[in-house]
Chain A
Amino acid sequence: MSVIHGLLPYILPGALVTIKITIGAWLVSALLGLVLAVVRDTRKRVITIPVVAVIEVIRAIPPLIILYIIFFGLGTFHINLDPLTSAIVGLGVSDAVFTAEYYRAGFLTVAHAQRDAGMSIGLKRMQVMRFVVVPQTIPFIVPPLLNSFVGLMKYATLASAVGAPELLYGAQNYMETTGRVAPAAVAIMGLYIVVTLPLTRLVKGLERRVRARTRA
């Protein structure tokens, strides 16, 4: 159909950029979240209080504002990140505070007894983290991390607000150039449903399996 032909040059490049943003932001979130969670796990109040404060503050700011601050705010200091990088950093940081909570929940499932056992055989806290806690957390972390991936895919649309040429940006270009909204709207929403739905089902299935493991 000619409509699809007309859409493709706008939609395809956009989809590629959306994928880049999603993967980039997800990596930032997964890694930064882990760092935050591990740092927060310490018992030293001097460290936990500022870290918790930073986490709470970032959690309270809309991702769009964080994006604007990174893109335009840093620009005032002549740190000009391009739209794609700004989106990856902004969305990643915004999501990292949630990933950190997932990691924390995972750490809690590793009973204190295990940690104490680790300490009693002479392992330092960091080593206990590395060899005892984090490995056992991994199965619990997979579903929420996958969830965060799916969520970031949807929030990638925010990148259009700072000029990153992702899917929504492409759809808007099509709408502006041809004056028709329906084909682009159907395309973008359809694409999101088709990609997101199976992934969400997968997450639910994984969650059920993980929950079954804890029950045992």
Chain B
Amino acid sequence: MGQVGGWLAILAGGLVVTIELSAATLVLSVVISGCLAVMSISPWRVLRAIASAYVDVFRSIPILALAISVYYGLGRVLHQLGLSPFDTGVLVLTAIESAYLAELYRGALQAIRQQQWDAASSVGLRWVGTLRSVILPQALPPAIPITLNMTVAIIKDSSLLSIIAVSEVTLVANQLIAETFRPTEVYFLVALLYLVLILPLSQVSKYVEKVVERRLGIRPGTEQDKALRRLSIEAEARAG
């Protein structure tokens, strides 16, 4: 069993990189997606067009295809900019995941009924003011489980960056298998590590979802509940 312990220690090193990769991608994605979502409901057509184009393009491209194209196609440029495979991986993953997250944030913003906007404008608030004081605070609670579910999606998709030499846990596992010739055991250990990382997150996400529902006074089975449930499922399925 000491052998398994040794393997776990090696894989744990890769898991650290997985966590760093996912954290960096998450932070960047939240910022970018927030901006994109606001842009897509803004009254200015140019902003809506830009957001729409970004989301349309990056939600259509598979992560592996973009990663390989960027890393090997733009290799010289990346080198001149001093970007390592890790940096490239974060950029590629962020570009694509932020597109999905932006759509989900937009759904959360649009779920806030028109009445709120009308009421705010009747009080004299302009668009930006309404957004800041009325809409965003209401969109924040549902955004939390969405973001948590997206974190899970990001952690899972980070495994794809093993293809461009990012030493996250999947790559470390492949190297370990080449040395030990034991794919089943190693891949099960890797699955275990992902479980340890992700299961707590999804449980927290479910709990937060319930808290949010209670605070917003949503009863299960109602349309709002269905909308919220759909949003959070889609968050994890990177769909919608």
Contacts and interface: CB of A to CB of B under 8 A. Distances in A.
Interface residues of A, number: 53
Contacts of B198: 60
Contacts of A68: 183, 187
Contact of A215 (B69, B184, B190, B223): B223
Chain B, interface SS category: helix
A9 B129 CA distance: 57
A62 interface: yes
B150 to A, nearest CB: 14
B12 to A, nearest CB: 16
Nearest to A181: B73
B4 interface: no
A192 B60 contact: yes
Interface string A182-215: 1001001100110011001000000000000011
Interface in B174-205: 177, 182-184, 187-188, 190-191, 194-195, 198-199, 202
Contacts of A165: none
Q: Which of B61, B187, B229, B238 has the most CB of A within 10 A?
A: B187
B137 interface: no
A144 B239 contact: yes
Nearest to A196: B60
Interface stretch (A38-46, A69-77, A80-88, A115-123): A69-77
Nearest to B198: A60
Nearest to A214: B223
Interface stretch (B37-45, B114-122, B154-162, B209-217): B154-162
Contact of A168 (B64, B170, B220): B64
A60 B190 contact: no
A206 B113 CA distance: 21
A105 B159 contact: no
B152 interface: yes
Given A148-B237, A172-B68, A185 B73 contact: yes
A161 to B, nearest CB: 7
B62 interface: yes
Contact of B233 (A101, A111, A196): A101
A73 B189 CA distance: 12
A164 to B, nearest CB: 13
Contacts of A77: 184
Contacts, number: 142
A147 B162 CA distance: 26
Given A63-B156, A161-B163, A168 B72 contact: no
A142 interface: no
Interface in B8-60: 56-57, 59-60
Contacts of B202: 56, 59-60
A36 interface: no
A188 to B, nearest CB: 5
Interface in A103-158: 105, 108-109, 111-112, 144, 147-148, 150-151, 154-158
Given A61-B194, A148-B239, A111 B221 contact: yes
A158 to B, nearest CB: 7
9 contacts: A57-B195, A61-B191, A61-B194, A62-B194, A64-B162, A147-B234, A147-B237, A168-B68, A214-B223
Interface of A: 56-57, 59-65, 68-69, 72-73, 75-77, 98, 101-102, 105, 108-109, 111-112, 144, 147-148, 150-151, 154-158, 160-161, 167-168, 171-172, 175, 181-182, 185, 188-189, 192-193, 196-197, 200, 214-215
Given A62-B158, A64-B160, A172-B68, 5 more contacts: A56-B199, A64-B170, A65-B190, A193-B56, A197-B56
